[in-house]
Amino acid sequence: MDKYNKIIQELIQFRNDRDWEQFHDSKNLALAISLEASELNELFLWKKDDEVENINKDRLKEEIADILSFTFLLAEKHNLDVFDILSEKIKKNALKYPIDKAKGTAKKYNEL
């Protein structure tokens, strides 16, 4: 079993052992992702530029793990492979942000 399928099975086992599947509809999983992303943002709130890159790595890992956990569960609920959808998105973004126009700029694709 590859790492991705192993972690999905661990997440499902963890959820099912606690009878939480009843709470994991698409809406609630999406809201949980948003809330966990807010907690990630909170790590950077009010930090100066020199402090941003030196935040607590353990807390950073915790928040990223929470976001990924709910994201993986939402993807699994809809039979989506996160690696496939990420690959598709990278290809779409490559068309929206061609290297010759996007390199070195943070402008949005409609501003290039």
| Structural domains present in the chain | 3-80 (1.10.287.1080)
Q: What percentage of residues in the chain have a pLDDT greater than 70?
A: 100
pTM: 0.89
Structure tokens at 74: 């939402």
Q: pLDDT (tens digit, 9 = 90+) per residue, 87-108?
A: 999 999 999 999 999 999 998 8
DSSP conformation class of 83: H
d(CA 93, CA 107): 13
Structure tokens at 76: 């699994």
